[in-house]
Amino acid sequence: MDDYPHPYLAREGWPFLLAAVLVSIAVTAFAGAGWASPFWLLTVFVAQFFRDPARRVPTQPGVIVSPADGRVVSVERTQDPYLNREALKISVFMNVFNVHSNRSPVEGVVRERWYNAGKFLNAALAKASLENERNALWIRTDDGADITSVQVAGLVARRILCYVEPGARVRRGERYGFIRFGSRLDLYLPVTARAKAVIGDTVRAGETILAELQGAA
C-alpha cells in the first residue's frame, strides 16, 4: 500500500461535506425528515465524490500508471503541444462518480508547469484537450524519458488544483492534484512507449498500468 498522509475523504472535500451535513441537519430539525431527504442525498453524493482511497502502486521498472480514475477515451499518436514533439497520447475521462484525486504517472522531477485558462467543454470531447482550462506538468524520469501530464477541466469542473512546482520530485502514484466535478487527464508519452490500455478500459489512478517505457530495466 502506498504512503497515505491523509484520510479516506480527500481534504478538498471537507468544507463541502461539513456544509452539506449542517444544512441537512438544519432542514431536518426545522422541516422534518421528508423535506430533508434531498439534502441528505446530496451529502451522500458529496462524500462519494471526495472519497480518496489508498492504492497499490506497481513497482516494476518502466511502467506508467494512470494519473486518474475513469475511462480511457483516447490512445493515439499526436503532437505534444507543450514539448513540441510527436507523442503517444492516452486520455482518461472522469465522470462525477469517479475518484478525482490525480496521481503522478511516473517517478521523476517536475521540469516545468503550465497553466492555461480556457473553456469548459464536455471533457469527453477531443477538442477539450486544447480548448478547456488545463494545467500541465512536464516530468522527466531518472532514465531521461519526458512525460507530460495534463489536468483538463470539464463541463462542470470549475477548479483545477495542483500541489507541485518545477523542481519537485514526485513518486509514481503520488497524489499531486485534484479536479472538482468531472474532467479528464491527458498523458503525452515518448512515441517509443508501448500502450497497455485500450479505448474503453476502466482505470484506477496510481494503480492501473497505461503504458510501458521501452528499454527500462
> What letter would DSSP give residue 104?
-
> What letter would DSSP give residue 13?
G
- pLDDT tens-digit readout, 153-175: 866 555 788 999 999 999 999 99
> What letter would DSSP give residue 11?
G
Choose the catalytic residue: 91, 101, 149, 183: 183
pLDDT of amino acid 176: 92
- pLDDT tens-digit readout, 198-215: 999 999 999 999 999 986
Would you give the distance in Å from CA 146 to the centre of its chain? 19
pLDDT of amino acid 91: 95
Quickly list H helices, 63-201. Answer: 128-131
CA angle 10, 33, 25 (to 5 degrees): 45
At residue 64 the predicted structure's pLDDT band, cuts being 50, 70 and 90, is: very high
Output the pTM of the full model: 0.82
Tell me the C-alpha distance between 144 and 87, whole Å: 15
pLDDT of amino acid 181: 67
Lowest mean pLDDT among 42-56, 75-89, 102-116, 196-210: 42-56
Tell me the C-alpha distance between 43 and 21, whole Å: 6
- pLDDT tens-digit readout, 131-158: 678 899 999 999 999 999 999 886 655 5
pLDDT of amino acid 49: 77
Phi first, then psi, for residue 37 (nearest 5°) are -55, -40
pLDDT of amino acid 20: 86
| Residue 183 is among the residues annotated as catalytic for this protein | yes
pLDDT of amino acid 1: 38
pLDDT of amino acid 13: 72
